[in-house]
Amino acid sequence: MPIETVGVVGAGQMGSGIAQVMALADYEVILMDVSPAGLEAAVAGIAANMDRQVSRGKLAEPAKVQAIGRIRTTVQLGELGTSDLIVEAATEKEAVKHQIFHDLRPHLKPETILTSNTSSISITLLAARTERPEQFMGLHFMNPVPIMQLVELIRGIATSEATFSAVCSVVERLGKTAIVAADFPAFIVNRVLMPMINEAIFVLHEGVGSVVDIDQSMKLGANHPMGPLELADFIGLDTCLSIMQVLYEGLADSKYRPCPLLVKYVEAGWVGRKVGRGFYDYRSEPPVPTR
């Protein structure tokens, strides 16, 4: 089935990024969120990102205008039902995702493919709660979506070859590189990345090193572009905790136990850049460590 229209659920950092790259690849996009203010901010952010691309000579002004014109917004989930492909990019909570797919059910056309941008939750489990598991799979973009080249493709146990091929074609049209991951907790990228971040938080928790020293160690000693605590703030500590919980519960291995300090930061609401405080306080420039 040719895919020309894409519905995106969630206008946060991931959803707006997905909408941006889809529109630039000539897809007609419907971006849905329950918050009108969130949708307004998302469209403004997309326009600002494209303006930066234009200023750097990476995007022509007419192409930018056309891409913005391909994105429309709605607060009504049912309006996404006519899309050829739907990408769920809501918060990393299983119950929320189940509810979204349940509420979409009566509005979908028979051929619509459903995907989730989940970074850790079982695709088979999400698909089983829909009436079309053969037309469901994982489509996990990396953050920030417009910059990162990798996309993880995850088949559930029932995903059809036709569905997989159609979604592969979308990734190719976006100009990104796809890798295929088996449907195990956190897939490939976060199965490797999140335990490293969690261990860095343990190092801080145990007093082995300071926030700055831990990040400097990995940037200068391992050539990482961002330190693990800085990266955790960028991802969102709430998302990091959710992924570690999925790993811990799904694999029943104590090495995936979330660090108690990570739990405390999330309890405090200090979940990173998006709220102005995490392992760094972003209300000052440059950001200063909070511990």
Q: Is residue 98 annotated as a catalytic residue, yes or no?
A: no
pLDDT greater than 80 at residue 158:
yes
Alpha-carbon distances, residue 198 vs 30, 85, 111, 116, 207 (angstroms): 36, 34, 41, 24, 14
Q: Is residue 140 annotated as a catalytic residue, yes or no?
A: yes
Q: Are residues 163 and 230 in the same domain?
A: no
Question: Per the residue annotation, which of 140, 198, 230, 242 is the catalytic one?
Answer: 140
| CATH code (residue 87) | 3.40.50.720
Q: Are residues 154 and 17 in the same domain?
A: yes
Q: Are residues 173 and 34 in the same domain?
A: yes
Q: Are residues 128 and 240 in the same domain?
A: no
Instruction: Tell me 114's DSSP state.
Output: E
| Domain range for 153 | 5-181
Q: Are residues 202 and 257 in the same domain?
A: yes
Q: Are residues 131 and 231 in the same domain?
A: no
| CATH code (residue 266) | 1.10.1040.10
The number of folded domains in the chain is 2
Q: Is residue 120 annotated as a catalytic residue, yes or no?
A: no
Question: Per the residue annotation, which of 88, 116, 120, 152 is the catalytic one?
Answer: 152
Q: Are residues 226 and 94 in the same domain?
A: no
Q: Are residues 174 and 57 in the same domain?
A: yes
> Average pLDDT for residues 164-178, to the nearest whole number?
98
Q: Are residues 150 and 246 in the same domain?
A: no
pLDDT band at 2 (very low <50, low <70, confident <90, very high): confident
pTM score of the predicted model: 0.90
What six digits make up the tokens of 290?
A: 């909070």
Q: Are residues 257 and 177 in the same domain?
A: no
Question: Per the residue annotation, which of 190, 198, 230, 242 is the catalytic one?
Answer: 190
> Average pLDDT for residues 183-209, to the nearest whole number?
97
pLDDT greater than 80 at residue 186:
yes
Q: Are residues 106 and 12 in the same domain?
A: yes
Question: Per the residue annotation, which of 16, 49, 116, 119 is the catalytic one?
Answer: 119
List all residues 6 or more positions away from 4 whose beta carbon is below 8 Å from its beta carbon.
27, 28, 84
> Average pLDDT for residues 27-49, to the nearest whole number?
97
Last residue of a domain, one of 155, 181, 207: 181
- What's residue 190's pLDDT? 96
Last residue of a domain, one of 181, 208, 223: 181
pLDDT tens-digit profile of 65-109? 999 999 999 999 999 999 999 999 998 899 999 999 999 999 999
Main-chain dihedrals φ then ψ at residue 253, nearest 5 degrees:
-125, 125
Please state, in angstroms and rounded to a whole number, the distance separating the CA atoms of residues 132 and 135.
Answer: 5
pLDDT greater than 90 at residue 174:
yes
Q: Are residues 177 and 193 in the same domain?
A: no
